Amino acid sequence: MEYIKEHFKGIDKSKRILEAGSIDSWNVALDGSQSEAFDYIVASNLIEYVPDLIKFFADVQNILAESGKLFLTISNKIKTADRYRQPTTFAEIYDIHKRNVRNNPVRTLDCLLNSNQNGTLPFNTEAFDLAIQIYERIQNTDVQTGVSLNVFTPESFLLIIYSMLRLRMIPFKVLFFIAPPEALDFDIVLEKNESILEKEGANANAEYILKILFPPKQPNIRAENIENSSLGSNILKISHSDFQFPFYVRNNTSDVAVYHGVMVNCEYAFIKEKDVKVIVDAGANIGFASIYFAKLFPNAKIIAIEPEETNFALLEENTKNYPNVIRLNRALWNEDGEINLIDTGLDNWGFMTLDSQNCANITTPKLQKRHVVKTVTIESILKDYGFPAIDLLKIDIEGAEKEVLNSCQHWIGNVNSLIIELHERMKSGCEEAFNNMKNNFKYISQHGEDFYLRKKSE
């Protein structure tokens, strides 16, 4: 729930927000007394107790304004007393909806028998008899017992949303999803969009869910190119025929995918610039893009910016033989100072920055504050290094592009070309900031997840 608060930063106070944390508060919102639609609905650990989820989404549709957002915080059953229960399925949800019932005796029985109590299952004769009595008492009635009817893992809930989208049952676009591995809850943000009910819109959003559920497998490195390194048991040394010096990656991590993307698949082969003197690599990770740029433009000065300390250590190792690469253990931001670095659980390429205001209310381990890092701005880089312009600026900073681009008016005129990956799924507002900025460039093209913006044709 703490991360969701980032999306409320700067929201107009006139916006109508409904916070529903119980069945009673939700029923009050549906009593018909509301004259205007809500702009935001925040439901924290609510849908676990809702018998008919299809009706729930229909009710949300009725009281949420177009382009309004539904914020859901949902318990991860694996981390709770429900870990021995089977996840709720779309088939069960559909059956309950078609039968138009207000309770779920089968799910109630499942909760009473299979919820973990003090580390053990309550499976004894007394517990079983009581569970059966309650089950029989609520059969064919509207009695609600107050137990958690639905239980989910992040994957099982996404599969339910996937099915609803494929069947065009809900007019919602998935904006954001996060499930840190050690967290008790996971979050999903849905935006009401009636056009999503059109076939292509529903299919596109369903495909996005599939990418979350089944991310591309990390490619293997050819065995003849790798060997164990002296830097650690999990760190591999890679030799590449096109580069004089070896690379170092952490095995079985996102490092391997980054290596293949940049060095094997030539992710930045679309670059057209010829005379490049200054490059800024913001979100340098462990250095592959900086090394690629150093080979492509050997006379260019390259500023490699990476905030996360373990990534930065490998960045230093990988680029130490490239004298034109200057390494900064900083986070690119909209002002010089300090910022909180957050581990989102998306491996070594998924660290995010949040300001103190949005980290102040984090009281659970759901999002672990990795450490406080110093920040740097594009204006400071131009001033401190005496650069009249940046010929090529690469930005891949996991959502912080929103703040950086929203304050770019004083320096964007000094950037000749920009390569940027947007992370709207991680922070709402990134696409809007990009759209407000892009008119500063004449030529715009997209290559995979990267947008390439230039002021000159060559």
Judged by DSSP in three states, 360 sits in coil
What is the CATH number for 70?
Answer: 3.40.50
pLDDT at 176: 78
Same domain, 325 and 407: yes
Same domain, 12 and 150: yes
Same domain, 185 and 57: yes
230 located within any domain: no
Same domain, 412 and 310: yes
Same domain, 207 and 339: no
pLDDT at 164 over 50: yes
pLDDT at 350 over 70: no
Q: What is the pLDDT of residues 19-36, one digit of tens each?
A: 887 777 787 777 766 678
pLDDT at 457: 67
Alpha helices in 173-244 (DSSP H): 199-213
Same domain, 172 and 263: no
Q: Give the Cβ contact number of residue 422 at 10 Å.
A: 21
pLDDT at 258 over 80: yes
The closest of 219, 298, 211, 292 to 254, measured between CA atoms, is 219
Domain end position, chosen among 162, 192, 213: 213
18 located within any domain: yes
**What is the number of helices (H) and of strands (E) in the chain?**
14, 19
pLDDT at 361 over 80: no
Say which DSSP state 97 is in: H
Which residue type is seen at 426?
M
pLDDT at 347 over 50: no
Domain end position, chosen among 155, 190, 213: 213
Which residue type is seen at 60?
V
Q: What is the pLDDT of residues 113-163, one digit of tens each?
A: 777 655 555 556 777 777 788 778 777 666 666 677 899 999 999 999 999
134 located within any domain: yes
The structure tokens listed for 418 are 């920009």
pLDDT at 195: 81
> Cβ(415)–Cβ(389) under 8 Å?
yes
Integer-rounded Cα radius of gyration of the chain: 25
- For 341, counting Cβ atoms within 10 Å of its Cβ (0-12 exposed, 13-18 middle, 19+ buried), the class is buried
57 located within any domain: yes
Same domain, 148 and 292: no
What is the CATH number for 376?
Answer: 3.40.50.150
Same domain, 12 and 145: yes
387 lies in which domain range? Answer: 254-454
Same domain, 193 and 267: no
Q: What is the pLDDT of residues 279-295, one digit of tens each?
A: 999 999 999 999 999 99
Domain end position, chosen among 162, 195, 213: 213
Same domain, 202 and 284: no
Strands, sheet with 172-178, edge to edge from the N-terminal-most edge strand: 17-20, 38-44, 64-75, 185-192, 172-178
> Cβ(229)–Cβ(248) under 8 Å?
yes
Q: What is the pLDDT of residues 188-240, one digit of tens each?
A: 988 898 887 776 666 777 777 877 777 655 445 454 477 776 676 778 888 88
The structure tokens listed for 167 are 């069947």
More confident site: 37 or 111? 37
State the SS3 of 207-220: HHHHHHHCCCCCCC
409 located within any domain: yes
Mean pLDDT of 50-56: 90
pLDDT at 413 over 90: yes
227 located within any domain: no
pLDDT at 351: 63
Same domain, 205 and 278: no
pLDDT at 305 over 90: yes
Q: What percent of the chain has pLDDT over 70?
A: 81
Q: What is the pLDDT of residues 388-404, one digit of tens each?
A: 999 999 999 888 899 99
Mean model confidence pLDDT for the chain:
82
pLDDT at 344: 56
Q: What is the pLDDT of residues 175-195, one digit of tens each?
A: 878 887 767 888 898 889 888
- Helix, strand, coil shares of the chain, percent, nearest 5, are 35, 25, 40
Q: What percent of the chain has pLDDT over 90?
A: 36
Same domain, 287 and 207: no
Mean pLDDT of 83-95: 90
Total domains in the chain come to 2
239 located within any domain: no
